[in-house]
Amino acid sequence: MGNLITEYFSGWLRWCNALLSRFAWGPATLFLLALSGLLFSFGTGFFQLRRIRLWWCSTLGASFHSKSGQPRKEKGGITGFQSACTALAATLGTGNIAGVATAIAAGGPGAVFWMWISAFFGTMTGYAENLLAGLYRGKNAKGEPIGGAMFYIEQGLGCRWLALLFSFFCILGSLGMGDMAQANSIATGLQDVFGVPPLLTGLAVAGAVGFAMLGGIHRVGRITERLVPFMAVGYTAAAVCVILANWHRVPAVVHSILQQAFCVQAGLGGLAGYGMKQALRVGVARGVSSNEAGLGSSVMANSAAGSPPVVQGMWGIFEVAVDTLFMCTLTALAILCSGVYDPARYSAALGTEAFSSLPNGAALTADAFRSVFGPGGGVLIAVSLMLFAFSTLLGWSYYGERAVEYLFGPGALVPYKLLYLACIVIGCVSRLDLVWQISDTFNGLMVPPNLLAVLWLSPQVFRETRRFFRVKEKRRCTEKTSV
């Protein structure tokens, strides 16, 4: 009886999700993402390429010395590095380990190409939304700086109902991609390697996240600024080792990525299942789910630092580049170079019951690492998943709190925190494919209200960027004259 109820509930969720997904990741959303990335890339003269030294030195470079020309942090806020680590904590999650593998399994190697494209142009979408969040920012009851898409939607666009709609979708996104998907990947990894029951994992993770949430953004910032660099460097080193051990396969892998990204029906004999439409949809969805460019979520963490608008925008570029163009690429190359992914087998099973029996998500990535490190590869992925997912759970808990506070007021924060912790347990005992599908839908619903405001306010982005460089040039001329 219990299994029958579970199957009925899962079927009902799949039907509802399929209906919403057609809208969330339909042509309109893809058009808005493409338009935004292209507009801000061309409108700023491809800032992400031409000004790479500037935004690198103004973000990570400035974090290593005090004379950055900017105040270290605004009163009541957190440092720029802490805010970036909190934002990266939300983006550098299981999407970089399990999400990439899921994208390859569902969309083929061609999905990786579309992740690259969405990330390259997404850097400037991240720049624009972070800059606008720096222009439209407020303070909470404690005097701490707060911001987010809901602020520039209401104050800049003058559309409060759209800001409320975005906040509602953000809450759903925090419970989906930011909560259940991360918890599910932790449980899958621990069960695969150590045989830990998913329910036990859910209870333990919920307790740890609950402790961190009690300290607010300051405790989250302190935890993430120590956790994010450690986990990023460790995972990067291991992934590079897997790729180097199979370096002779890299050219063939890159060729298959490019070939299958543009085939109407994927290569390898015209296998059923994979095609350009599937690769594009899955690649863009997973890319945006990972780096969050266009969602308007990461700006909440960056706004907590109170950085100048253009500098805050540069942090948006940095976060997208590190998350997808670097970390996701390493995972994709490790999986495809290791030989654990069989395109013919996965393509033939796509859309059938056999697909769920194939290694997917964290299990597929773990197989790639085991091919080089042996049993230790599975342990390494399990540990990485715990660290990545835990940091993401912290980051998205903050996003959800800001959306709840904006929508319902401070009194709703406690019920939301309890619901967030309960969803961790639910995510751990749910099926992987269903959790990721629902998470993608929730993320997609955040895009339209956010990007409609960002595009409408694009003249302010360009104006503020030009002003920044005028001031910078004037300062440089003054320094030369004084010398």
Q: What is the pLDDT of residue 1?
A: 52
**Among residues 299, 257, 4, which one has the least CA distance to residue 127?**
299
Q: Is the pLDDT of residue 146 over 50?
A: yes
What does 267-284 look like in DSSP terms, one character per residue?
STTT-SS--HHHHHHHHH
Render pLDDT for 447-469 as a digit per residue (tens, 0 to 9). Answer: 889 999 999 999 999 999 999 98
* Whether the predicted pLDDT of 7 surpasses 60: no
> What ranges make up the beta strands (E) of 136-242?
137-139, 145-147
pLDDT score at 266: 40
Strands (E) across 137-195 are located at 137-139, 145-147
CA–CA dist 305, 82 (Å, integer): 8
Mention every residue, 6+ apart, whose C-beta is less than 8 A from residue 75.
Answer: 143
At residue 287, the pLDDT reads 65
As a whole-number percent, the residues of the chain with pLDDT over 70 amount to 73
Residue that is written with structure tokens 């990204």 in the block: 261
Q: Is residue 142 predicted with pLDDT exceeding 80?
A: no
Which residue, chain included where needed, has tokens 């639910």?
426
Are 425 and 207 contacting, i.e. CB atoms less than 8 angstroms apart? no
Comparison of pLDDT for 323 and 67, the residue scoring more: 323
Residue 301: the pLDDT is 74
CA distance from start to end of the chain: 84
Greater model confidence, 445 or 59: 445
Q: Is the dihedral of CA 229, 404, 320, 51 positive or negative?
A: negative
Position 444, amino acid = G
Residues 96-135: tens digit of each pLDDT: 777 788 788 777 788 888 888 888 998 999 999 999 988 8
Contact between residue 224 and residue 82 where contact means Cβ atoms under 8 Å apart: yes
* Residue 482 exposed, middle or buried by CB count within 10 Å (0-12, 13-18, 19+): exposed
Question: Rounded mean pLDDT of the chain?
Answer: 78
Strand partners, 47: none
Task: Tell me whether strands 137-139 and 145-147 are parallel, antiparallel or unpaired.
Answer: antiparallel
The pair of structure tokens assigned to 192 is 């695969």
Q: Cβ of 196: how many Cβ atoms within 10 Å? A: 17
Residue in the block written with tokens 């003058």: 158
Q: Which residue has the higher pLDDT, 146 or 55?
A: 55
**Rounded mean pLDDT of 21-40?**
82
DSSP assigned state of 345: H
- Measured CA to CA, the distance from residue 437 to residue 186 in angstroms comes to 17
The total number of residues written for the chain in this structure: 483
- Give me 222's structure tokens: 């302190």
Q: Which candidate, 83, 96, 81, 93, places its Cα nearest to that of 391? A: 93
Confidence of residue 72 (pLDDT cuts 50, 70, 90): very low
The residue type at 91: T
- The mean pLDDT of 164-182, rounded to a whole number, is 86
pLDDT at 390 over 60: yes
A 10 A CB-CB count for 466 gives 11
CA distance 124 to 112: 19
CATH code given to domain 47-63+71-349+356-482: 1.20.1740.10
Range with the lowest mean pLDDT among 50-59, 190-199, 267-276, 352-361? 267-276
pLDDT tens figures, 147-156: 788 999 998 8
Q: What whole-number distance in Å separates Cα of residue 325 and Cα of residue 339?
A: 22
With pLDDT > 90 as the criterion, what percentage of the chain qualifies? 20
Backbone φ and ψ for 147, nearest 5 degrees, come out as -165, 180
Structural domain boundaries in the chain: 47-63+71-349+356-482
